[in-house]
Structure 1
Amino acid sequence: MDKQRDFVLRTIEERGVKFVRLWFTDVLGTLKSVAIAPAEVEGAFNEGIGIDGSAIEGLTRSYEADVLVQPDPATFQILPWRGEVDATARMFCDVLTPDGQPAVADPRNVLKRVLAKAADQGFSFYTHPEIEFYLLKSSELVDGRPVPVDQAGYFDNVPGGTAHDFRRQSVRMLEDLGISVEFSHHEVGPGQNEIDLRYADALTTADNIMTFRAVIKEVAIEQGVYATFMPKPLAGHPGSGMHTHMSLFEGDTNAFHEPGAQYQLSRIGRQFIAGLLTHAPEITAVTNQFVNSYKRLWGGDEAPSYVVWGHNNRSALVRVPLYKPGKGTSARVEYRAIDSAANPYLAYALLLAAGLKGIEEGYELPPEAVEDVWSMTDAERRALGYKPLPASLDRAVALMEESELVAETLGERVFNYVLLNKRKDWADYRDQVTPYELEKNLSLL
C-alpha cells in the first residue's frame, strides 16, 4: 500500500496533476465526485476527507451526516478526457464513519464484505461484463420518442457511421485508463452498441463499470451525441443488458472446471448455478432496479424472463457458454438478467452471495432447458416447472422484502433504503397517465 501511495504522489508531481477527483457511489449506483488539490492527497490517504453525506442517496441519515471518503491508491488514473492542461486524476474511495470504520451504506463496502466471505471459503470471484447502451442524436425527444444515431443492426459495419468513431475513441480512452476491452460492436437495436470488458476480480470490475459509464458519457458529449444506459429506451427494439460472465477460482485453479463432467462443469459450478436460480427472483429488484427494467425483461428481444439454465441456450437466465477445449481456466457461467443501469457493487454482491449459498447448502441443479423457452406456451413452461422472473418492479420489491439472503448481504441500512426508494419509484409510476392509455382509451371511453 505504501508503494502504491508513493507512486500516486510521485505521478501527481511528475505529470503536473492539478486536481484529484475522489469518486464513490450512492446506493442507486450514481457516481459521486469531490475534487481536492494535490497537496491534500497524502492527508486523504492517511485520514480521509470529510464530506456531508446526508444529501447522497441512501448514504447517511440526516442526524449522522458526516462521513469520510478515503481514496484507494490502486485505482489512481489520470482522466484522458481532461487533457494535459490542468491535468485531472481520479481515485475510487471507500466511505468511512468519522471513527474510521467502513460505512455500512457504502455499496463498495457491501461488495467487499461478500468478497471477504468468499475468500474465507478459499474463493476469488471474477467477472466479465458485456455492456450495452444506446447512442441517440440528443437527449431531446422527437414526437415523444428518442432518435437513434443510425438504423444499423447486429454486427453491422456502417462506413462513416457515428458508432465506429464512437467505439474507437471510447475503447482508446478505456485502455488509457487501464481498462482492457475484449470486444466492441454494433448491437441489434438502431444506435445500440456493446463493449465487453476483460475479466477481472469483481471489485475491479465494478470500479471499471462506473468508469466505463463516465467515459461513454464524456465521449458522447465530445461527439455531439447522447449515450444512455436506460434499460429499454425504444419500444419495439431490444433493451440494454449487462450479461456478466462469472467464475470462482481457488488459487490458480478454476473451481467451475472438471474434466470429464457434463459441459466440463464441476459440482461447485453446478451448485453455484443452482444458487443463482433459486435466489434470482428475490435479487431482481437490485439487478433490475428501475420500472423501465421490466420493459426489457418482458419485452421479448432475447431478454431472459424465466428462471432456467442451459448450455449455450440464449433464452436461459443462466447460460454455460462454450469455451475452447483444453482451456479449463475459461470455464464460467453467464447471468443474463442484469441490465446496464444496475449498481454493479450491489448486483455483484448479490450474485456472489446467491452462488455461495448454493455451494454452502448443496443446492441441486434442476434439469437444463434445451429448447427455446420463449417459444413455449405458458402451459408447457408450467409443466416443466419453469418459474418467471418478476414482471414488474412492484413484484420484484415484494419478493426482495421477504428475502433473508438480500437483507443479510446488503445489510439493514442499504436493504431498507432500496426498499423505500423502489416503492416510491413504483408509486410515482403508478400515478402516471401514459400516452399509451390516452391513445388507446380517451376516444373510446
Structure 2
Amino acid sequence: MSLLSDLINLNLSETTDKIIAEYIWIGGSGMDLRSKARTIKGPITDVSQLPKWNYDGSSTGQAPGEDSEVILYPQAIFKDPFRKGNNILVMCDCYTPQGEPIPTNKRYQAAKIFRDLLLLKSHGMVNILIVIQFGIEQEYTLLQKDVKWPLGWPVGGFPGPQGPYYCSAGADKSFGRDIVDAHYKACLYAGINISGINGEVMPGQWEFQVGPCVGITAGDQVWVARYILERITEIAGVVLTFDPKPIPGDWNGAGAHTNYSTKSMREDGGFELIKIAIDKLESKHKEHIAAYGEGNERLTSRHETADINTFSWGVANRGASVRVGRETEKNGKAIVELECTNTHYLLLVKTFSTMDKGNSSNSNNDVPNYRRATRIEEQKEYQERRWREHEKNLNRERRYDWYKKYYTEPQPIPQQQPKPYLSCEPTHWTVYEKIYNFNGDHTVTCTRCAQVFNYKENILRDHYHEHKRHDENEQRARDIETQMIIKERNEEMDCKQKIREEEARKKRLKKSEQKLREMNKRDELRQIAANRMAEIEKEETEAAFWNEAAQFVDNSVPSNQQEDDAAFWNEVAQFADNTGASNQQQPNDEDEQPWWDEILQHVDSQNL
C-alpha cells in the first residue's frame, strides 16, 4: 500500500509539462455528480485555456441513445487536492451539440443574469455587480457503507435523543470528524472559500459553510466542495447523502441555509431594506419552494424548520422561513438567512430576481427584466402545451373533413358492375365505404373485393365474416407452411449435427488407435532393449566368473609347479565342466560357495 500511495502522490511537474484535469458536471438527477479526467498541457491559469469535452448522456439520463453526445463547457477551475501539483478540478455545465443548454443545466440561467449584469456594468448602467454576496451552509449525513445507517448509530437501532450531539466532542457524540477535517483542509487547498464546519443536531450529521461568494461563484464552489466530500468519503469507505430527510421520525433533516446580502443591506439603515426584501420573498414563497428541489417535506415547522405552506420570518428564530440574526437587529445592518435545500444555481436566480426587482440601484428602464430568465422552463412547457392543442385541433379538423366527405355529401353511383370475390391479401383492413344515391339511399362498396351491396346489416356482416374466414384460413395455411419449413430446417440441422458428431467420434477413435499402436511399438522396443541388456549382463557375469576362477587358481598354486602340473590344470578344467560351468549358467549366491568348496577339495586331493 505504501508503494501505491507513493505512485498516487507522484509529482508530475518534475518530469513532464502535462497535467491532469478532472472535468466535473451535474448528472441527470440534478443531484448526482459525475466526473472524468483527461491529460492536457499545463499549467492552466484561466478557464478559457481549457478545451470543451463530451460524454455519453444516455448513460446519465441526460440524452437519448440515438443522439447521446453531451458537450461539457468548462466554467471554473480549482486546484486538485487529491493529485496535487499543477493538476486541477474543472466545474462544467452541459450543452447539446447545437449549443443549447440541456434541461438539467440550471447553471446557465444563473450565469446569464450575472453575465448580463457584467455587460451592463461595463456600460455604466448598473453598479451592483460586486455587492451581491451569497453564503451557503450545506448540511449532509454520513452513513455506514453496508447498512446505509447513520455513522455512529447502532445497526438497526437508534442512539440517544437529540441534544448532546450539536457541535460536540467525544467518541460517544461526534462521529466522522476525521472525514470532516480532511474535507475542510482539502477545500482550502483547492481554493474554495470555505468559512467553517460544525457538527449538527442529529448524530452523524455535519455542515460546512461556503462564502461569502459573489454571484455565480457561490454555486460553483458549493458543487466542487460537494464533489471533494464525495471523493473523501469514497476513500474512507463511508456513504455520503444530502437527502433532506435521511431518517424519518423525530430527527433533524439536512438542508442548505443560504445567506444573502447586498451592499445597501450591510450599510447603516440596512435592516429596513432587509424587511422590504423579506416582503418580496413572502410574495413569491410558493414559487421559491417549487424551485428549491425535492424533499421539501422536511419543512414541517418541527426540527428547526418552517412550515412548507406558510411563510414566516423572525429574529434568531430557527423555525422561520427567513431568519435574521440578533446582531443584525442590534446593529441595524447585516445579512438575511433563507431556509433552502440543494438546488444552488436556481437558488441564486430566484433570490436575486426576487430581491433585486425594484431596487433603486437597478431601477433604470434600460435594464432588462431578469425574472424572465427564471421562466425558461415554464415557457417551454407552455409551448409544448400549445403544440399539443394544435395537434388536437388538426386531428379534429381531419375527422370532420372525413365525415363531411363520406356522410354528408352525395356521391354518384359507381358505374362498375359488382365484381366477384377477390382472394387478394389485404395490406390494411378497411371494409366498407358508403356511396350515396340521388334518392337518399346508399350502397356500400367493399374495398377488399369491390362488391357493391345495398345497406343491410346482415348482408354486410356476412360479407365481413366471409373475408375474415378467408383471411384466417390463409393465415392458418401460412402458419402450417411456416411450421413445416421450421420442422424441415430443424431436422436438417439435427442430421448435420449427427453427421458432425459421428465424424468427430471416428476421428477420436482413429486418434486413439494410432496412439495405442504407438504405445505398443514403444513397449516392444523397451522389451527388445531389456532382453539385449540381459544378454550383455549375462556375458559380463560369465567373463567375471572365469576371471575370478583363474585368479583364485593362480593364487593357490605355486609358480614353480605350473609348468610341471599341466595335466593337473586340464583335470581342473574338466572337473569344472562336469560341475556345471560349461552349461553357461550364472551361479546364484546360494550355490556359489559349495561349488568352489568342491573345486578346492579336488585340488587338495591331488596333494598340491
Alignment TM class, shorter chain as reference: 0.5 to 0.7
Work out which of the residue numbers 252, 255, 260 in structure 1 matches 2:264: 255
- Unpaired segments ≥5 residues, structure 2: 1-10, 121-125, 154-158, 363-368, 386-608
Q: Could you tell me whether the CA contact under 8 Å between 1:149 and 1:190 is conserved in 2?
A: yes
**Which residue number in structure 2 is paired with residue 279 of structure 1?**
284
Query: CA separation in 2, counterparts of 1:351 and 1:139?
Result: 39
Which of 1 and 2 has higher RCO (CA within 8 Å, sep 6+)?
Answer: 1
Shift of 1:239: 0.3
Q: Deviations over 1:305-345 (max 9, x none)?
A: 130222222222112223479988x7211101x12xx2211
Task: List alignment gaps of at least 5 residues for structure 1.
Answer: 1-10, 249-253, 363-403, 421-445
Residue type matched to 2:217 in 1? T
1:429 aligns with none
Find the aligned partners of 1:63 and 1:17 in 2 and give their Cα distance. 35
Query: Does structure 2 conserve the Cα–Cα contact (< 8 Å) formed by 1:184 and 1:194?
Result: yes
In the TM superposition, residue 49 of structure 1 has moved relative to its aligned partner by: 2.6
Please name the residue that 2:414 is paired with.
Answer: none
> After the TM superposition, which residues 31-430 of structure 1 pair with which residues of structure 2 at under 5 Å, given as runs?
31-39=33-41, 45=49, 48-53=52-57, 56-57=60-61, 66-72=69-75, 75-82=76-83, 88-98=87-97, 106-116=105-115, 120=120, 121-124=126-129, 125-138=132-145, 140-141=147-148, 146-149=149-152, 151=159, 153-159=165-171, 161-235=174-248, 236-248=250-262, 254-259=263-268, 261=269, 264-267=270-273, 269-287=274-292, 289-290=293-294, 292-294=295-297, 296-298=298-300, 300-305=302-307, 306-323=310-327, 331-336=334-339, 338-339=340-341, 342-357=342-357, 359=359, 408-412=373-377, 416=381
Partner deviation per Cα, 1:59-88 (whole Å, 9 max, x = no partner): x6777654432323xx3223223467xx85
Match of 2:500 in 1: none
Q: Counterpart of 1:169 in 2: which secondary structure?
A: helix
Q: Is the 8 A contact 1:275 1:356 kept in 2?
A: no
Instruction: Report the AA paired with residue 284 of structure 2.
Output: H
Q: Distance in 2 between matches of 1:82 and 1:76?
A: 14
What letter corresponds to residue 23 of structure 2 in structure 1?
L
Partner Cα separation in structure 2 for residue 94 and residue 211 of structure 1:
12
Distance of 1:138 and 1:300 partners within structure 2: 29
Question: Once superposed, what is the RMSD of the aligned Cα atoms?
Answer: 4.0
In the TM superposition, residue 34 of structure 1 has moved relative to its aligned partner by 3.6
> Residue in 2 aligned with 1:378?
none
Assess, with a 3 A threshold, how the Cα gap between structure 1 residues 17 and 297 changes in structure 2: closer, same or farther: farther
**What TM-score, normalized to structure 2?**
0.49
Aligned-pair identity (%): 22
Q: Secondary structure at the match of 1:158?
A: coil
Q: Whole-Å Cα distance in 2 between the matches of residues 206 and 227 of structure 1? A: 19
- Aligned partners of 2:337 and 2:95: how far apart in 1? 33
Deviation at 1:16, TM superposition (A): 5.8
Separation in 2 of the partners of 1:348 and 1:308? 20
Secondary structure of the 2:281 match is helix
Structure 1 residues 96 and 47 mapped into 2: Cα distance closer, same or farther (>3 Å)? farther
Distance 2:167 2:216 in 1: 30
Aligned length: 343
Report the CA distance between 1:210 and its aligned residue.
Answer: 0.9
Residues 91 and 34 of structure 1: CA distance in aligned 2, closer, same or farther (over 3 Å): same
The code of the aligned residue for 1:239 comes to G
Per-residue CA distance 1:376-424 (angstroms, 9 max, x = gap): xxxxxxxxxxxxxxxxxxxxxxxxxxxx99874051389759x99xxxx
The 8 Å contact of residues 74 and 92 in structure 2, kept in 1 or not, is answered as yes
Shift of 1:193: 1.1
Residue 135 of structure 1 aligns to a residue whose secondary structure is: strand
Q: Compared with structure 1, are the counterparts of its residues 244 and 358 closer, same or farther at alpha carbon in structure 2 (3 Å cutoff)?
A: farther
For 1:113, the aligned partner's letter is K
Q: 1:181 to 1:43 in 2, by over 3 A?
A: closer
- Match in the other structure for 2:582: none
2:51–2:74: 8 Å Cα contact kept in structure 1? Answer: no
Code of the aligned partner of 1:265: F
Cα deviation, 1:215-252, whole Å, max 9, x if unaligned, reads: 2222223233222111011121000111110012xxxx
Q: SS of the residue aligned with 2:356?
A: helix
The alpha-carbon deviation at position 51 of structure 1 amounts to: 4.2
Q: CA deviation at 1:170?
A: 1.3
Aligned partner letter, 1:230: D
- Rate the CA distance shift 1:416–1:20 in 2: closer, same or farther, 3 A: farther
Residue type matched to 2:312 in 1? Answer: V
* Contact map agreement 1:174 1:215 (CA 8 A) in 2: yes
| Local SS of the residue matching 2:243 | coil
Report the counterpart of residue 3 of structure 2 in structure 1: none
> Between Structure 1 and Structure 2, whose CA radius of gyration is higher?
2
Shift of 1:285: 2.5
**How big is each residue's C-alpha offset from its partner over 1:83-121, in whole Å with a ceiling of 9 and x where there is no partner?**
67xx85221224445465766763221111232455545
Name the residue aligned to 1:424.
none
TM-score normalised by the chain length of structure 1: 0.65
Q: 1:12 to 1:281 in 2, by over 3 A?
A: farther
- The 5-angstrom pairing of residues 20-39 of structure 1 reads 20-26=21-27, 28-39=30-41
Contact 1:302 1:314 in 2 (8 A): yes
Which range moved further: 187-196 or 310-319? 310-319
State the secondary structure of the residue aligned to 1:76.
strand
What is the SS of the residue equivalent to 1:265? helix
